[in-house]
Amino acid sequence: MGNDGLIGLALFIGVETAPRRAVVQSAGHAYRRHHSVDQQLCRRLLLSLDRLPSDELTMTHELIANMLGVRREGVTAAVGKLQRLGVISHSLGHITVLDRPALERLSCECYAVVKRETDRLLPQPPG
């Protein structure tokens, strides 16, 4: 990409989601949609829970920081906030979601968009 490039072209042609990641290699100006670390963490936890049979996740702060592209300290602060709110329980490398509806309310709007598109593209087999 250069000065004439665009990331997220799929949104302009009508695709609601496009699971891609862009990495900035050079300094310059760019525009992006921004969510707080708290919102990103909630979204990541929910997306992980959607693929697991329980409310327990095995994730370190370092792993979450790498997935979100943020500093580990930011993840530690966000996890602490969610724990104080009673939304999650946390111990070394383990997160248990205690209040999923609250986690959904605290997440950015992207979670609902990604979940809807994932459910459309990968429907769950009848149970």
What does pTM read for this prediction? 0.72
Q: How many domains does the chain have?
A: 1
Residue 126 is assigned to a structural domain of this protein: no
Neighbours of 36 (CB within 10 A): 13
Beta bridge partners of residue 56, listed in sequence order:
96
Per-residue pLDDT tens digits of the chain, which is 127 residues long: 455 555 555 555 556 555 666 666 677 766 557 789 999 999 999 999 998 889 999 999 999 999 888 899 999 999 999 999 999 999 999 999 999 999 999 998 888 888 888 888 887 766 5
Residue 28 is assigned to a structural domain of this protein: no
Report how far residue 8's alpha carbon sits from residue 60's, in angstroms, rounded to the nearest whole number. Answer: 29
Residue 78 is assigned to a structural domain of this protein: yes
Strand residue runs (E) in 1-127: 56-58, 88-91, 94-97
Q: 76: domain CATH number? A: 1.10.10.10
